[in-house]
Chains A and B, each alone.
Chain A
């Protein structure tokens, strides 16, 4: 079984970011690029699945995990981290013509690339830390022509069928579907593992294949030419006011003041 995890490379949330007012894009220079934190959960989900399938009695051919990203060439270093965590190989879709892609263009190009790479199961994160739309997984499933099972907190594969626990605000639903399929995961899937030193040293020997737009032979424009949306204006979020500090003689009195406040705001 071939599992492909889609990962986005995003600017490190721990560094200060700036948007270029002219291009309305993020200034990448001097900002460290990291694996989208949510996608580390997707990798974890895929590795867990691979390990569980390997441990299952009478399992057929072993599962493999491929990480995939549409990103600039500089992404290679970050993809190594995914390989160090335990993925088997990586594919990078990299082309200047992809710059300025929106959700639609991203999903369209990624779908074409994934069809070329081949898969039984695509695992995605729920959200990218920078673009923040959460729109890619749904659109991707559509263009791949496979069922999209979103917000999974647990994934199971048995008899070639997929069963996921789909997280909701109040609990979870159990959803099943045939494969090939796409699953997006939530953070409840389990803490991503650290790359071990052996994994890091082994990652050097794993391959990262690059594919270009020309190899995909797309029938529609992608990148900024094909984007269906345009960022028109940007504004900084309003500055948050100072919090209120409750001074109290003891814990019980303090709790009462906070409770009264929440009640006044109809929050409890």
Chain B
């Protein structure tokens, strides 16, 4: 590099070091800036209290709907039909606020709405999607059961045909948005394999119980779904799809959002740590001036930028129709792992302040523990990738 080149090239940004920004279109940047502004104003000033009190204000649903962020990558039925990259950027900004807010949007858009959009009948789509896009109706997605997490194929929840009706029995566990949902997408075992059902939560025989005492994802409602002789009309079932293919298609969508989302958490932690390190003075010097702290910050910077590039790369592949579910597993495994490492490293830089809700770091760190587990644990994604490269399944 010549001296003039060095002068001409702007110094790298301390967060977006690789200038990933320049790889985005005007429209993508505008999506990002809009969601960032919303989060700055609506989420950041309140989220520590939401987390502490274990609540997520319901009105957020309509606000996210007005912005067009619910089911934003779906086409038609009141959904804007944005690109995968734009959707990813929105996830990143929402999660830079809090994983609970991003999870709300993910479950609504990528699990519940996507399931109805992808597998639903015309009638189901017309009934639910426009209201869900506006945030007037909240959805949840019931796959996991207490005894069947990583292995949903073993699920016990059953669907029995009775004349034209279906009768559902069983219990779903760990269901995000469960207790606040107007509609639940429930997967159940039938004579004809696993089927999906669109269950209005007002249906007789459907109830929920709140899961308390979480120390992670506190600004998010997690519930048990109880189905006790829950009778549904024949029109409630997804007409075509049978088997695990149904729920897995949805999970791949939501996982994709996580690849971006967790880089939002990581960015929030890194920026908090960098700022803190520059201002915190010990032994008469800002701690950012010590080599050990610099090494921590630089390691965080490397993984944050690499992870963001990875998310963008997978996003572009998805927009071009070239992303395989294993690519998404690659992204989820790497980015959640690195985001968690960044959060933990950031926490050490903040010292005692790192354990309080005054700073965003421990909130993100604890949230990321849920993300490590849901939508396929890190072990499961490792096995998916292992199978992909060896051709040998090591699940069982």
Contact = CB atoms under 8 A, between A and B. Distances in A.
A263 to B, nearest CB: 32
Interface string A71-99: 00000110011001000000000000000
Interface in B17-42: 26-27, 29-31, 33-34, 37-38
A81 B36 CA distance: 14
Given A81-B34, A197-B31, 9 more contacts: A30-B13, A77-B26, A80-B26, A80-B27, A194-B67, A195-B30, A195-B34, A196-B67, A197-B82
A201 B38 contact: no
Interface string A6-44: 000000000000000000000001100000000000000
B85 interface: no
A200 interface: yes
A197 B26 contact: no
A30 B9 CA distance: 10
A198 interface: yes
Given A29-B10, A201-B80, A201-B82, A196 B30 contact: no
A12 B159 CA distance: 57
A204 interface: yes
B142 to A, nearest CB: 28
A201 B75 CA distance: 13
Contact of B67 (A29, A80, A197, A204): A197
Nearest to B26: A77
A81 to B, nearest CB: 6
B4 to A, nearest CB: 15
B66 A196 contact: yes
Chain B interface, DSSP helix/strand/loop, else mixed: helix
B90 to A, nearest CB: 8
Interface of B: 10-11, 13, 26-27, 29-31, 33-34, 37-38, 66-69, 72, 80-82, 86
B86 to A, nearest CB: 8
Contacts of B34: 81, 84, 194-195, 197, 200
Contacts, number: 49
Interface of A, helix, strand, loop or mixed by DSSP: helix
Given A84-B30, A197-B80, A30 B10 contact: yes
Contacts of A204: 27
Nearest 4 pairs of A and B residues by beta carbon: A197-B68, A30-B10, A197-B80, A196-B68
Contacts of A197: 31, 34, 67-69, 72, 80, 82, 86
26 contacts: A29-B10, A30-B13, A76-B26, A80-B27, A80-B30, A81-B33, A81-B34, A84-B34, A194-B38, A194-B66, A194-B67, A195-B30, A196-B67, A196-B68, A197-B34, A197-B67, A197-B69, A197-B72, A197-B82, A198-B68, A199-B68, A200-B27, A200-B31, A200-B34, A203-B27, A204-B27
B30 A200 contact: yes
Interface residues of A, number: 17
Nearest to B66: A196
Chain A CB count within 10 A is highest, among B11, B29, B33, for B33
Contacts of B33: 81
Interface string A170-207: 00000000000000000000000011111111011000
B37 A194 contact: yes
A241 to B, nearest CB: 18
- Most chain B CB within a 10 A radius of its CB, from A198, A203, A204: A198
A204 B86 CA distance: 14
Interface core residue of A29, A77, A200 (most chain B CB under 10 Å): A200
A150 B78 CA distance: 40
A29 to B, nearest CB: 6
A81 B30 CA distance: 7
Contacts of B82: 197, 201
B292 to A, nearest CB: 26
Contacts of B29: 77
A80 B34 CA distance: 12
Contacts of B27: 80, 200-201, 203-204
